[in-house]
Structure 1
Amino acid sequence: MTRDSNFEDTINFLFPPHVLEDAETCLQRAFLSPLNIYVDEFNDKILEKLPGDFQSYFSLDSLKEADHTI
């Protein structure tokens, strides 16, 4: 089997169409990997299967300098 075939089989097992249509059920599922090497690719393939448009949100992990300490 090729990697793409394995990805599709895994996605169809974890997130079949009836699961992707129900957000609550999706929250009960997870893809666990010992390595992060293919996680982004797997996530992208899942997002492609979700109905509707998706939005990306960005965050910043830093603190603003305080003028004084308490």
Structure 2
Amino acid sequence: MIWTHDVFGNSVAIACFSGQTDRPVIESRMTLNQRTDWPVFDIDAGAGTCPFCYSDDEKTDLGRSPAGLG
């Protein structure tokens, strides 16, 4: 079974069968993951692509954290 997503974000499964039958039986089991959408915060337009660079002001705010050293 192959899983993919359509243009609307829906999960779509494609199943291939090994032979023919006169009585198809399809069984399904499902596990639902209930979670909030990620990210739950706004992303600055400049951070929408990778890699991105921090401005000098942002580097100052980040201090000596690994992100501020670049």
Normalising TM by the smaller chain, what interval?
under 0.3
Task: Please identify the structure whose Cα radius of gyration is greater.
Answer: 2
Asked which structure has the greater RCO (Cα within 8 Å, sep 6+), the reply is: 1
Per the normalisation by structure 1, the TM-score is: 0.21
